[in-house]
Each structure stands twice: as C-alpha cells, then as structure tokens.
C-alpha cells in the first residue's frame, strides 16, 4: 500500500517513522516538494509530507530568535520577519525557477535540509550558520532536542548545524530555532562593465578584502542577463554608510574602468536574478553548482569552455559557479576532473532528469575514509535506512 502521511505534530512524525523502521518501509521526506528534484531520486512507496506541520511557535525580534515548525512556508517566515524590520540574512535562494516549478514555494525545513543560501552567504553565512536549535525525529523513530533558543550556545555537539545539508537522511526536523538579523536600511549595487571573467573576479576579490563590507559579489559574463559583462558589488546598510562605502569602492577599483550605480529597487531585482539563477531558468539543459576557492573560478570556467559548450556565471566573489551544459549532456567526468585540476572543491548536479540523477554521482564523491565515516553517522541516526534512502549517495 502506497501512502502519503501528513503529520500535524512531532508525535505524529515519531509514530510514522517508528512504524517505518519497524516495518522496513522507507519514507521520502518532503515539505512542499519544491526541491524534490535536487539530489538523487528517492524511490520509496511512502511519503512523509510535513506541509501540515506548520506555524510560528515564538518570535522575539529583540532577542533575534525565531522558533517555527519545520513545515512552515519560507515565504510566510520571510514576510513575518520583514514586517518586524528583520530578515533571514543568509538570503535563501529559491530553486523554483531553476527546477521549473513555481517560484516562492518551499518550507523552512527544506531550506535547512539543503543548506540553502544566497549571495549574502559571503558576508553573513549559510543557512547552517543561522540555526540555533532543533527538535527532530531520528530514523530510529525517537524525538530528540539539540541546541537551544539563545544566540550563543556550545552545550553538547552541534547537531542542529550538522543536520543542515543532510537532505533529511539523518533525521526529520519538526521544530527549528533560527537567528534572525536586522534588515539593512537600504542597498545599492556598484557595477563595473565589460570586464573579462579573470579581471572581474580579481576586482571582486579586491573588494572583498577591503573594509567596504560588501554583501554580494557576482560576475555576469556577456550574454548572461545582458549583452555586456557586469561585475557587481552589493552594499547594504544605513544610507550614509552605503554612500560612503560606495566611494571607498570607487577609489579602490578606479583602474577597472567606469562605474555605474544601481539603486535599491533595481538592485534588489538584480540580486534576486543572481540568487535564483534566473538566467538558466525556463530550459531543461543540465545545470551544475560548483564551489571552489574564488580566485580559481575563472580558470575553471576557461578550462571547461575549451572542452564543452557551456554558459556560466559567478557568485560569491568567483567561488560559486553556476554552469549550464548547452549540449544537453551532464559531462560529469569533465567537470569533476576540471574541479580537481584547479585545487578541488565541490560540484553538484542540480538539474538533470531523474534517470541521469540515479546513474551519476550528483554530489561530490568523497574519499573512502570520509565516505565510511558519513555512512557510520547515517547508521547511528537511521540504522534501518528509512529516511530518504539514496538521496545523497547510492545505497546510503
């Protein structure tokens, strides 16, 4: 019997997972299923859908702390904190456009399970840097709490952080506590035009190493969201400070050519385009997300352009490369070899049809001792392998 369970309480989740473990019936864990096509396909008869486990438990703006049920829509959370002059400063990306599903979907549990972030990752950290506490159900079907509801805590192992990015393969989060931050008063984008990737990334790294407190650093080559290349630096904060730091950047980067300024409203739209990888939306070609040391980004793309037909652009000061294969193939061996040749990093196949995602390594393959340790960790949380089996690695 195939079933979709929609638990409304942590206790319901516990019952469902306990049953799954007892009966050896693996579960696919979803929220709104907006990122279902990220990672390897999970093939289970049953689905545990957390979208009904939703709601704000407590929100105390003055404490910078928010506690919510894991199935709460991320859009609802962003709206709530925005109304209080705050934000999730890791700026979680919306995979909807890239994965060809509706924009604006997804739950906070999904954001954490995939450890999503956006351009501000560089300055503010990823989702995992903003989690403070978690109630979750392990694959053993047992509820446990870890972390706390205060912004500074080192009591016990940092399980909440470690469970971020685990794609629901270790435990099912039921309640999460996040750190929120004040929303900047205003923002603007500093733009250099017409630079090649190497020179553009060089400018970004220089700016990141300055005291200008840049909160977004991207390079869009010609053909990506415009006819000429643009090198973008975002400044956020109090208005006097943004203007002052804009001048700092002008002085620092004057040898890189003429500068233009994009004001707040257009700046927001532009960074949303970068964040959600909109230049690669609306088509089906395979897309890779590659994380390397920023300075080697241009070299990596240059290497791959010689061998493959690709489009690529850079976020995170050059360290995050969004790469689309125009030949329709995933080219995983080329891409992994190129990443290794520039000093290593992580390449993840974020868009491909399920048959491909089942047959190639979607995530960066790990050396044997690390893979073995990860497997042992999985067994400690989920000894029967009932939570999202195979989502990260085949057979685990």
Nearest to 7 by CA among 130, 143, 112, 115: 143
Q: Given the rule CB under 8 A, which of 71-79, 93-101, 162-170, 352-360 is the region that contacts another protein?
A: 162-170
The phi and psi torsions of 99 (rounded to 5 degrees) equal -90, 10
Task: Tell me if 52 contacts another protein by CB under 8 A.
Answer: yes
Shortest Å, Cβ 109 to another protein: 16
Among 34, 72, 146, 174, binds another protein (CB under 8 A): 146
Among 36, 140, 199, 334, binds another protein (CB under 8 A): 140
Instruction: Considering the complex, state which of residue 227 and residue 251 has its C-beta at the smaller distance from another protein.
Output: 251
Instruction: Considering the complex, state which of residue 272 and residue 348 has its C-beta at the smaller distance from another protein.
Output: 348
Q: Given the rule CB under 8 A, which of 27-35, 75-83, 257-265, 373-381 is the region that contacts another protein?
A: 373-381
d(CA 5, CA 49): 6
Start-to-end C-alpha separation, the chain? 24
Shortest Å, Cβ 30 to another protein: 14
Instruction: Considering the complex, state which of residue 145 and residue 273 has its C-beta at the smaller distance from another protein.
Output: 145
d(CA 291, CA 252): 27
- Between helices 332-341 and 297-307, what is the axis angle to 10°? 140
Instruction: Considering the complex, state which of residue 20 and residue 224 has its C-beta at the smaller distance from another protein.
Output: 20
List the interface residues with another protein, window 23-42 (CB under 8 A): 23
Shortest Å, Cβ 227 to another protein: 29
Q: Which residues pair with 323 in a beta bridge?
A: 288, 312
Handedness of CA 142, 77, 287, 355 (dihedral sign): positive
**Binding letters toward another protein, positions 102-131, x by CB under 8 A:** -------------x-x---xx--xx-xx--
Shortest Å, Cβ 316 to another protein: 6
Q: Given the rule CB under 8 A, which of 98-106, 176-184, 269-277, 324-332 is the region that contacts another protein?
A: 176-184
User: 394 by DSSP, 3-state: which?
Assistant: coil
Shortest Å, Cβ 164 to another protein: 6
Shortest Å, Cβ 291 to another protein: 4
Nearest to 233 by CA among 195, 185, 277: 195
d(CA 25, CA 44): 8
Task: Tell me if 213 contacts another protein by CB under 8 A.
Answer: yes
Cα torsion for 25, 357, 121, 265, to the nearest 10°? -110
Among 55, 63, 266, 354, binds another protein (CB under 8 A): 63
Shortest Å, Cβ 221 to another protein: 20
Task: Tell me if 222 contacts another protein by CB under 8 A.
Answer: no
List the interface residues with another protein, window 232-291 (CB under 8 A): 237-238, 240-241, 243-245, 248, 291
CA distances from 240 to 13, 86, 234, 237, 250 (A): 50, 20, 15, 8, 16
d(CA 129, CA 175): 17
List the interface residues with another protein, window 334-363 (CB under 8 A): 343-346, 348, 363
- Check if the beta carbon of residue 171 is closer than 8 Å to that of residue 147: no
**Binding letters toward another protein, positions 193-212, x by CB under 8 A:** ------------x--xxxxx
Task: Tell me if 313 contacts another protein by CB under 8 A.
Answer: no
Give 165's DSSP letter: T
Buried b (16+ CB within 10 A) or exposed e, 149-168: eeeeeeeeeebbbbbbebbb
List the interface residues with another protein, window 86-105 (CB under 8 A): none
DSSP 105-158: --BHHHHHHTT---TTHHHH--GGGGEEEEEEEETTS-EEEEE-SSS---SS--
Among 228, 337, 373, 394, binds another protein (CB under 8 A): 373
Among 36, 41, 103, 153, binds another protein (CB under 8 A): 153
Among 36, 183, 278, 309, binds another protein (CB under 8 A): 183
Task: Tell me if 306 contacts another protein by CB under 8 A.
Answer: no
Shortest Å, Cβ 376 to another protein: 4
Contacts for 82-87: CB closer than 8 Å, 24+ residues apart: 82/183, 84/59, 85/61, 85/182, 85/183, 86/61, 86/180, 86/181, 86/182, 86/183, 87/180, 87/181, 87/182, 87/183
């Amino acid at each position: 019997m195939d079933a979709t369970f929609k638990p409304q309480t942590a206790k319901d989740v516990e019952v469902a997972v306990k049953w799954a473990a007892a009966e050896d019936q693996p579960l696919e864990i979803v929220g709104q299923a907006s990122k279902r096509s990220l990672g390897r396909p999970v093939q289970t008869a049953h689905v545990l859908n957390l979208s009904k486990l939703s709601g704000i438990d407590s929100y105390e703006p003055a404490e910078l702390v928010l506690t919510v049920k894991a199935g709460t829509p991320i859009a609802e959370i962003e709206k709530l904190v925005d109304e209080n002059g705050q934000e999730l400063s890791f700026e979680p990306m919306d995979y909807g456009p890239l994965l060809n599903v509706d924009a604006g979907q997804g739950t906070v549990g999904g954001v954490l399970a995939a450890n999503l972030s956006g351009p501000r990752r560089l300055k503010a950290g990823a989702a995992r840097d903003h989690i403070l506490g978690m109630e979750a159900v392990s694959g053993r079907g047992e509820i446990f709490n870890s972390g706390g509801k205060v912004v500074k805590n080192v009591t016990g192992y940092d399980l909440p952080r470690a469970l971020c990015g685990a794609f629901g393969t270790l435990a099912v989060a039921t309640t999460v506590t996040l750190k929120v931050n004040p929303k900047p008063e205003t923002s603007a984008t500093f733009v250099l035009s017409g630079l090649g990737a190497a020179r553009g990334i060089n400018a970004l790294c220089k700016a990141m190493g300055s005291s200008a407190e840049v909160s977004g650093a991207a390079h869009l080559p010609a053909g990506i969201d415009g006819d000429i290349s643009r090198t973008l630096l975002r400044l956020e904060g109090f208005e006097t400070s943004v203007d002052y730091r804009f001048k700092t950047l002008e002085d620092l980067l004057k040898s890189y050519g003429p500068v233009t300024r994009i004001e707040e409203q257009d700046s927001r739209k532009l960074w949303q385009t970068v964040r959600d990888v909109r230049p690669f939306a609306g088509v089906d070609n395979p897309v890779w997300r590659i994380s390397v040391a920023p300075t080697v980004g241009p070299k990596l793309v240059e290497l791959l352009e010689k061998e493959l037909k690709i489009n690529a652009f850079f976020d995170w000061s050059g360290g995050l490369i969004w790469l689309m294969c125009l030949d329709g193939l995933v080219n995983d061996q080329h891409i992994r070899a190129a990443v290794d040749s520039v000093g290593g990093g992580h390449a993840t196949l974020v868009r491909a049809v399920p048959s491909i995602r089942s047959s190639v390594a979607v995530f960066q393959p790990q050396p044997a001792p690390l893979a073995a340790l990860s497997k042992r960790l999985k067994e400690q949380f989920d000894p029967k392998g009932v939570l999202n089996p195979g989502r990260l690695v085949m057979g685990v």
